[in-house]
Chains A and B, each alone.
Chain A
Amino acid sequence: MDLETVKERAGPRAFSPKDDLPVEYREAATRMIQFHANSEIMGAYLERPFIRQAPSLDRKLAFSAKVQDEIGHGQLLYRAAESLGVKTRDEMLDELANGEGKFLNCFHYPMKKWTETPMIGFFVDGAAMRRQATLKRSSWEPYAHAMDKICFEEGFHVKHGEDILRELATGSRKEQEMLQEAFDEWWPRIIQFFGPTDDKSTHHDFSSEVGLKMMSNDELRNAFLTAYIPKAEKYGLEIPDEPRIEKRDDGSYKVVEDDLDWEEFFTVAKNSYEGSDIQIGKRHDTQEAVEWVRNVLDQHEQAATGAAQTAAD
């Protein structure tokens, strides 16, 4: 299939592994899904310490379940990416561990306090879910199928995140203050989650022409702000003065993007931020620590297939 045909036929779940797709499509889809898979893994690493630091048994169980879910989402997405035939799962995991793999801006920052957890658990997960819901209509069928399962599970994550937010917002004065502090720090990053506005986004045009991506950064950010600003306000959080957010006549939001630190954003995007090394290092160390498990499984697989081949001969 040539690129023109791909653009003509592009629609929800239009292409599957049995289609002969041009390299441009396969590479763009791999880049997008690998980024998504990496982000699931790196998000889980950010939340993992809170399994231990959770203030109650219920929270501990929920955090443990959530981290498990996110790692599982990473695996589903590596499968969807792998089926494009550009990179194997092992290659993508190696790239993540050695610092070549790219992932979401928010997961490059350390999360130290319990009062920060709703920033990821409610706002970042909420933003991600907004985006993921639109990707159920992506043109790469395995990606869309992965989204069906991910979105099914994700409702628990967002509501659990809000439950923590609610608890802290109605808690002691100290908790409320710490929550506001966390919000001030994370809010600009959360807004940058959606990336730069459309005219600055390099990959958007192609991805939307071939149906990989359904909505622009700007549309997604708008939809997110419309639902989540009232939530922040409901819990008594004060929206920081910057970035300035103006309401248009049609009710949608306009973010004054010059108020955001794009230099930092693009440093993060290149994995060159100070937090990047720390976060990637955690993944790298774990990857190395469980190398023996992978080796045992690989040997077992080879022995099993070897035996089957001998039997077939």
Chain B
Amino acid sequence: MIWEVFRQEKPGEYHTHCGNVHAPDADMAKLFAEVQHGRRKPTNSLWVVPQREVGEVDAEEATFGGSTDKSYRWAMTYNRVDESFAEEVADSQREQETADREREEVTSGGSA
């Protein structure tokens, strides 16, 4: 049986997928995950999940973000006003700009 492994580096951070292991049961899956994925990289916690329990929807079947122009959903669209007056608004816009750029790279099959 295959188990997917998610690692959290430090307390409070997100668990992110780092690989998978073969194991006959949950206890051994955790042990193998510990050995394979928690030995060198900084690790605070691992989540170990049976692969068949993971649902997936991918870009083949879904159009993530929709297929029409949704620029009205983005902070950058409102460029007649300036975000720099408040740090938290500026931070949010920077995050949106990054996400938008990365989306472009993925959809255009670019260097991502």
Interface residues of A (CB under 8 A from B): 12-14, 16, 58, 61-62, 65, 126, 129-130, 132-133, 141, 144-145, 151-156, 158-160, 162-163, 166, 227-228, 230-231
Extra pairs beyond A129-B88, A129-B89 (12, CB < 8 Å): A13-B11, A14-B11, A61-B70, A126-B86, A130-B86, A141-B12, A152-B99, A155-B93, A155-B96, A156-B78, A159-B89, A163-B78
Q: Please, which residues of chain A bring their CB within 8 A of the CB of B80?
A: 163, 166
| Contact between chains at A14 and B86 (CB < 8 Å) | no
Q: B9 within 8 Å of A by Cβ?
A: no
Q: Please, which residues of chain B bring their CB within 8 A of the CB of A141?
A: 11-12
- In the complex, A230→B85 CA distance in Å? 9
- In the complex, A132→B73 CA distance in Å? 20
How many of B's residues come within 8 Å of A, CB to CB? Answer: 25
| Contact between chains at B91 and A151 (CB < 8 Å) | yes
- In the complex, A230→B73 CA distance in Å? 26
B74's nearest neighbour on chain A, judged by CB, is: A156
For residue A226, give the distance in angstroms from its CB to the closest CB of chain B. Answer: 9
Interface residues of B (CB under 8 A from A): 11-14, 70, 72-75, 77-78, 80-81, 83, 85-89, 91-93, 95-96, 99
Q: Please, which residues of chain A bring their CB within 8 A of the CB of B88?
A: 129-130, 132-133, 151, 154
| Contact between chains at A62 and B72 (CB < 8 Å) | yes
Q: Please, which residues of chain A bring their CB within 8 A of the CB of B81?
A: 159, 162-163, 166
- Main SS of chain A's interface residues? helix
- In the complex, A156→B81 CA distance in Å? 11
For residue A313, give the distance in angstroms from its CB to the closest CB of chain B. Answer: 19
- In the complex, A1→B72 CA distance in Å? 47
Most buried by A among B70, B78, B89: B89
The 6 closest A-B pairs by CB, nearest first: A13-B12, A155-B92, A133-B88, A155-B75, A159-B78, A162-B81
| Contact between chains at B87 and A14 (CB < 8 Å) | no
Cross-interface CB contact of B12 among A12, A130, A151, cutoff 8 Å: A12
A-B contact pairs, 11 of them (CB 8 A): A12-B12, A129-B89, A130-B88, A133-B88, A141-B12, A144-B12, A155-B75, A156-B78, A156-B92, A159-B75, A159-B93
